[in-house]
Structure 1
Amino acid sequence: MAEFLGNLPAMIFHETKRLLGIALYFFLLIGLFTVFKAATLGDEHILYHQGFAIINALVLAKVVLLAELAHVAENFKDRPLIYPIVFKSAVFSALLSAFYIAEEVLVGVRHGSTIAESVPEMGGGGWRGTAVVAVNLFFGLIPFFFYRELARVLGQDELRSLVFKRGKPAASK
């Protein structure tokens, strides 16, 4: 028990770093959609919407961390990387879309709206809009899971070295 408590600050720091890294990716993704929507619709409240993007990014990052703790979508770990990347992108886009809808419904019901009134109008509303958002999220998650799967296979330090440090010269043949 003493060893666990001694490691607790390091574990909290590590998990917080993971959460903030995932949240940053989601903020960039959601923020880009928000800016695009604001520019398309001529909305002048971009900063207001970016605040919601930050909150949504943090919430979705927490959902991803919890799903990873539960080993969601770990089916294709030993297959070529394309399989776990595409599978995780599909599963997590469905999971995050469902979570977002459930969250909006719960908030709406809590504030006195009916369930039907609380369902968010994603992507313009209806099942088509929801499908468009889910497909965009799927493609937005591919780079995310590409990086994470490469880190799993190569090791986090090796991948960081390859991405953020000078590359090693190619071996002569």
Structure 2
Amino acid sequence: MEHAESGTAHGLKERAIEELKIYWIITLYLWVLLGLFTVYRRLVEAETGVIYLHYGIALIEALVIAKVVLIGKLFGFSRRFEDRALIVPVIYKSVLFGLLVMLFGVLEHLIAGWIHKQGLLGGLQEIASIGRDELVARTLMLVVAFVPFFSFCELGRVLGMKQLTAMFLSNPKAWPLREDASAHKR
């Protein structure tokens, strides 16, 4: 009996470690992406006064967005269309999570208004100050940025994440699919 409980605890620990690795991979991807948006904005608008704090804010946003992605995956509604051609779940997940992030952003502003004793109206005013166009632009940019991310995830789901990782990080001659690919070329 102790062995079974020990195995369950060990399995939970391994799963928690795996989830934490996934969380940090998502965070790193999003931090680079959001940091690039900050650089882009700085260069296009020739802003003065963009300080390193904005890059830290990009990290915080990446942490929050990564958590939204993991929560969405936990609830399982992102699994829809996984039985179709890979482009379908990739586009579905990109749009779904882009909209979820936008929704969480709106919710975040509403809660911040409530916490700062401005009420929900204060949160709505803060959202209005950002502007509808900027909110839509941020959402669209995130949806597009999610496409390569979810493409990689879907390939990992189909091929196995270890095999996909090996394909990205090892010599092509060591790829398990290498023989099959060369047979198709003949």
Q: Same fold (TM over 0.5)?
A: yes
Asked if structure 1 preserves the Cα contact closer than 8 Å seen for 2:38 and 2:54, the reply is yes
Unaligned runs of 5+ in 1: none
Q: Is the partner of 2:88 in helix, strand or coil?
A: helix
Query: Pick from 83, 98, 107: which aligns with 1:102?
Result: 107
Give 1 or 2 for the bigger CA radius of gyration.
Answer: 2
Q: Could you tell me the TM-score, scaled by structure 2's length?
A: 0.83
* Partner in structure 1 of residue 22 of structure 2: 18
- How far 1:75 moved relative to its partner? 1.5
Residue pairs, 1:156-167, within 5 angstroms? 156-167=161-172
Deviation per CA, 1:5-37: give whole Å up to 9, x if none.
233332222111111011111111211112222
Percent identical: 31
Whole-Å separation in 1 of the counterparts to 2:121 and 2:163? 49
Residue pairs, 1:36-51, within 5 angstroms? 36-39=40-43, 40-51=45-56
Asked if structure 1 preserves the Cα contact closer than 8 Å seen for 2:109 and 2:127, the reply is no
Q: Could you tell me the TM-score, scaled by structure 1's length?
A: 0.89
Q: Does 1:33 align with 2:37?
A: yes
How many pairs are equivalent? 172
The list of structure 1 runs, each at least 4 consecutive aligned residues, that deviate by more than 3 angstroms after superposition, is: 119-122
* Partner in structure 2 of residue 128 of structure 1: 133
Asked if structure 1 preserves the Cα contact closer than 8 Å seen for 2:86 and 2:154, the reply is yes
Unaligned runs of 5+ in 2: none
Q: Does 1:140 align with 2:145?
A: yes
Residue pairs, 1:76-91, within 5 angstroms? 76-91=81-96
Whole-Å separation in 2 of the counterparts to 1:79 and 1:56? 31
